[in-house]
C-alpha cells in the first residue's frame, strides 16, 4: 500500500471559487479599460473554461469570432491588466476559500504531508490568493508553487504536475491531486496521480469518469453532508472529505 506523502492543489475553482466572480469580472474590467466592446457573461465564460489559460482563452475567443483580431502583444497586455484587477478583487476579500479547504490544508500540514500547488494561473494571481485568503505563512508551508507558464504545455497535459513532483522529489504513487475541472483531472491522470475532484457550477457536468473521488465540495463537519458523485474506492462516512479519506485513496 502506498503511503500519502504529498498533496498537490489546483487553485482556480479548487482552493477558491475564483472563476465566475473573480477572473471573469477582471477580464471584463480589462476589456472595458482598453475600450473594447467585448464582455464575457457567465455562460460565455463557462464555454471558455474548456480552454486552459487566460491568454489562450482570449485567442480562442478571437479565433471563433467573439473578439476582434489583435496581436499577441496586446493579448499579453490585456492579460496583465486582468491580473492586476483580479489581485484587487482578491485583496478586497471578495473571493473566500471553498468549504473545507483550510481545514484539509491545516490537517495535512500538521501531519507532515508535503503540500504543493500545481496551477495554470499566473504566479502573481496565486500569490494574491495565498496572501489575502490563506495568510502569508502559507508561502512557507507550500513546498512548491508551480504556476503559470513555468512549463510549456498547460492542463490537460501532465507537465505542471510532473514539474511539481520533480521539484519535490516525490513519486506519483505517494501523491494525490485535488482538482475541480475535467482538464485538471485529465492532467492529474496523465501524470499518474490519484485525484479528488470538487466540482463547481462551471464543472458540474464535465466528465470525471475514472477519478478516485468526486464531491460537491470538501465540506465541513458542522454543515450538511457533501454530495458524493463518484466514490471509486467505496470510502465510507464521506460526510465531508477528511485527511483519512485522502490517505485511504493513496493506499488503494
pLDDT (tens digit per residue) in 48-95: 998 989 999 999 999 999 999 999 999 999 999 999 999 999 988 888
Secondary structure element (H or E) that encloses residue 29, with its range: helix 24-33
Distances in Å between the Cα of 176 and the Cα atoms of 57, 61, 214 are 28, 33, 13
Task: List the beta bridge partners of residue 115.
Answer: 7, 142
3-state secondary structure 38-73: CCCCHHHHHHHCCCCCHHHHHHHHHHCCCCCCCCHH
Cell, residue 250: 493513496
- Beta-carbon neighbour count of residue 222 at 10 Å? 6
Residue 14 contacts residue 179 (beta carbons within 8 Å):
yes
pLDDT given for residue 1 in this prediction: 78
What would you report as the CA-atom Rg of the chain, rounded to the nearest whole angstrom? 18
Taking only the tens place, the pLDDT of each residue in 215-238 is 999 999 999 999 999 999 999 999
Whole-number average pLDDT of the chain = 96
Cell, residue 82: 486582468
Domains, the chain, in order of start with CATH, read 6-17+96-251 (3.40.50.1000), 19-91 (1.10.150.240)
Cα–Cα dist 220/44, whole Å? 32
DSSP 132: I
Whether the predicted model's global pTM rises above the 0.85 cut: yes
Cα four-point dihedral sign 68, 73, 76, 80: negative
User: Exactly one of 12, 61, 159, 212 is catalytic; which is it?
Assistant: 12
- The residue assigned the cell 490585456 is 78
Cα–Cα dist 226/245, whole Å? 14
- pLDDT tens per residue across all 252 residues of the chain: 799 999 999 999 999 999 988 999 999 999 999 999 999 999 999 999 989 899 999 999 999 999 999 999 999 999 999 999 999 999 888 888 999 999 999 999 999 999 999 998 889 889 999 999 999 999 999 999 999 889 999 999 999 999 999 999 999 999 999 999 999 999 999 999 999 999 998 999 999 999 999 999 999 999 999 999 999 999 999 999 999 999 999 999
Residue 63 contacts residue 75 (beta carbons within 8 Å):
no
Angle at alpha carbon of residue 129, lines to 16 and 243, rounded to 5°: 50
CA nearest to 41, candidates 66, 24, 53:
24
> Environment class of residue 205 by beta-carbon count within 10 Å: exposed (0-12), middle (13-18) or buried (19+)?
exposed
| H and E: helices and strands count for the chain | 10, 7
Cell, residue 97: 476559500
Largest CA distance in the chain: 58
User: Exactly one of 10, 17, 159, 180 is catalytic; which is it?
Assistant: 10
Q: Is 61 a catalytic residue?
A: no
pLDDT given for residue 125 in this prediction: 87
Q: Is 12 a catalytic residue?
A: yes
248 Rama sector, left if φ>0, alpha if ψ -120 to 50, beta otherwise? alpha
Cα four-point dihedral sign 101, 168, 210, 43: positive
Amino acid at each position: 500500500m502506498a503511503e500519502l506523502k504529498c498533496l498537490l492543489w489546483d487553485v482556480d475553482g479548487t482552493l477558491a471559487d475564483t472563476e465566475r466572480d473573480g477572473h471573469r469580472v477582471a477580464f471584463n474590467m480589462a476589456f472595458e479599460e482598453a475600450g473594447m466592446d467585448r464582455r464575457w457573461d457567465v455562460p460565455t465564460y463557462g464555454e471558455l473554461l474548456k480552454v486552459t489559460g487566460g491568454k489562450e482563452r482570449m485567442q480562442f475567443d478571437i479565433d471563433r469570432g467573439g473578439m476582434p483580431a489583435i496581436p499577441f502583444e496586446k493579448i499579453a497586455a490585456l492579460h496583465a491588466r486582468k491580473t492586476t484587477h483580479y489581485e484587487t478583487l482578491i485583496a478586497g476579500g471578495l473571493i473566500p476559500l471553498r468549504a473545507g479547504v483550510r481545514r484539509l490544508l491545516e490537517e495535512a500540514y500538521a501531519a507532515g504531508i508535503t503540500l504543493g500547488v500545481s496551477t495554470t494561473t499566473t504566479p502573481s494571481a496565486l500569490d494574491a490568493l495565498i496572501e489575502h485568503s490563506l495568510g502569508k505563512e502559507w508561502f512557507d508551508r507550500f513546498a512548491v508553487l508551480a504556476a503559470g507558464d513555468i512549463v510549456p504545455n498547460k492542463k490537460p497535459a501532465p507537465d505542471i504536475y510532473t514539474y511539481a513532483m520533480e521539484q519535490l522529489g516525490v513519486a506519483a504513487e505517494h501523491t494525490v491531486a485535488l482538482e475541480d475541472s475535467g482538464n485538471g483531472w485529465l492532467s492529474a491522470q496523465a501524470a499518474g496521480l490519484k485525484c479528488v475532484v470538487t466540482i463547481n457550477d462551471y464543472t458540474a457536468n464535465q466528465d470525471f469518469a475514472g477519478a478516485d473521488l468526486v464531491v460537491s465540495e470538501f465540506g465541513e463537519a458542522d454543515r450538511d453532508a457533501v454530495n458524493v458523485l463518484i466514490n471509486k474506492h467505496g470510502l465510507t462516512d464521506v460526510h465531508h472529505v477528511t485527511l483519512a479519506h485522502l490517505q485511504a485513496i493513496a493506499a488503494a
